Structure 1
Amino acid sequence: MAIITQSEAYLVELRNLIEPEDVLRSHGYIIRPLTDEQLLSKRRCLGCNKTISQLTPSNTNLSDQIHPTDVADKTVQVPAFRCKYHPGQVVRKHWSCCSQHVTANPCGGSDVHIPRSYGPGELAEQHQFHPTPDALLKGNDIRAAVALDCEMGTAVSGDRELIRVTLIDYFSGAVLVDNIVQPDVPMQHLNTRFSGVSWADVRKAKREGSCLNGKAGARRALWTFVGPETVVVGHGASGDLRALRWIHGRIVDSFVTESNTKKRREAANGDKKQVEAEIVRTSVVRMSERVPDKNGNENVGKKQKNRKKGAGSLSLKTLVKTRLDRDIQTRGREGHDSLEDAIAARDLIHWIISNPVHE
């Protein structure tokens, strides 16, 4: 890995690529801690597992059960289920309640949505976002700039859950953090085909004592090297920071940088609408996770691709091949490597800084 000479002039160029808050927000970054109301909206229905923010207020109230009566003939009409779900369990990819395949439409339900019960602080522990603090301990080795990439699995709730985190020093390329993360919520699967992380990897990391404990443990490891002024580089890193429940204001996102470059170049050629459509399309594929709304809630109603870091002309793989003539993400069914992707994002930003007229 090439060493990049650190200088004040280079840092100025790197900092010039930091995105303002409104741009970060438009690309899915959370820039403020969630309010109490937003945290309450993270509660899920006992039946269908949707978040409260996805449900109308009347559907969450037990007193709103509807049993319409036809006064003329005095017959009671059975209402359609508002809350639809399978009441059984998945056994060998089939529901025990109806023997249908796991992908089948719900066979049962309820007329109302009933929020689950949560213990004191449980919602905040799982969902609250945390700004980068000042140095936590004396002797912390805070870096001027770093590159970040994460791998995620899928929790039982359906949320994407952090399972590996990688951080490298932007200038020296030194690997600062590259650890498996033990999920702190029940998991559905690790998305091994895409994440490259298996349960065997988790067990090995635990035996070796290198496994980080949940999102909080991962943040503590990162904050050993990252302070409020550290520049964090990534590609489509909004999903990484959301998985970490981390708010950081000094972000250089190579996806956003290249998106803006492409938009300006094509707009100058009179193809603005076509380029905006391409950016939206690749952004949807790139994110490969649920899209947050303005409150930081995830939209579980839209299917997202599982391919990490996108596809098309703005994907990390394509950009690294185009800009650096290098092949990455060639592991196939073994999944991605967050170390490889962190290095690639760093090298892509260095290429952009070194080629200022590439537009």
Structure 2
Amino acid sequence: MSGITLNLNFDVPSQDECQKNDRGNAKHNNFVRRRRVLEKRGLLKKKQNANNCEKHTCRKKPWQGKNKKNKDSCTRYPQSSTPPAELSTNPSSSAQVHHENSVSGIVKESTVPSSSESQIQFSSALSSVATCTGIPLKYIAIDCEMVGTGPKGQCSELARCSVVSYDGDVIYDKFIKPVNPVTDLRTRWSGVRWKDLRKATPFREAQKEILKILSGKVIVGHAIHHDLKVLHYSHPAFLIRDTSRIPILNRKAGLPENQTASLKKLTKILFNKDIQMEKKGHSSVEDAKATMELYKIVQVEWERTLPSNPGS
């Protein structure tokens, strides 16, 4: 039997080493007690909670303040009331939706033009119809004669109105009885006499008849704002052609473009024709025909300028 050798160490630790170990154990035990106290007060994260947070990658946002009452460090945010958009598995469906939206937007924009665009389109359409198809029914010329009412005849009221077609045919020509008593016939200019007003058409009745003719038409007139004023009527601006404000006419007549030339002067220069020569006064039919003739010689050139300056 082989011999067994035992190495036994019977050295007893020194007193200093025992004190050192006791101090280390006491320090550790004190640390553990303090940690448990802090955990109970919620001032120190528990190891289990910390592990859960790390597991779910839930981290506190840098802008969030500390909440001592909430023991759970993972903040829960309310969900949005708007559900997220569903993603289609069909790649063509999203493209189709985008295409439909874009097309609908184009249709909406094209079917609801602005007022200026509608004026341009309407003016262009009218000019093309007149020049290409030769339809004159959309164009009429108007001229009104006024008499004076009120103190010293200072107020102007309608006493005669004439409307002619594109070819100069008379569509309407009537004497009209003003609403207020006439104090000045202005016969030298209006050509109206007392006998003309005896059986004249009352203003309200005549106004309805005239406005029915003017509705939807392109109105040609010379200083037409005076005629519309006595009719108490406002016609769309892009359906008005005022021969007193056409620079092309003045240029053809050799007059300054910004000058407001009279109907008599333009007719004499461009047609070598005398109008408004009678001492009995003006004829609204004659003036309306002369106005239409002036418009017709510049119609094509003038209408081409209207898209850039509608309602001129």
* Higher share of residues assigned helix: 2
TM-score, normalised via structure 2 length: 0.49
| Higher gyration radius (CA) | 2
TM-score, normalised via structure 1 length: 0.43
Higher relative contact order (CA 8 A, sep 6+): 1
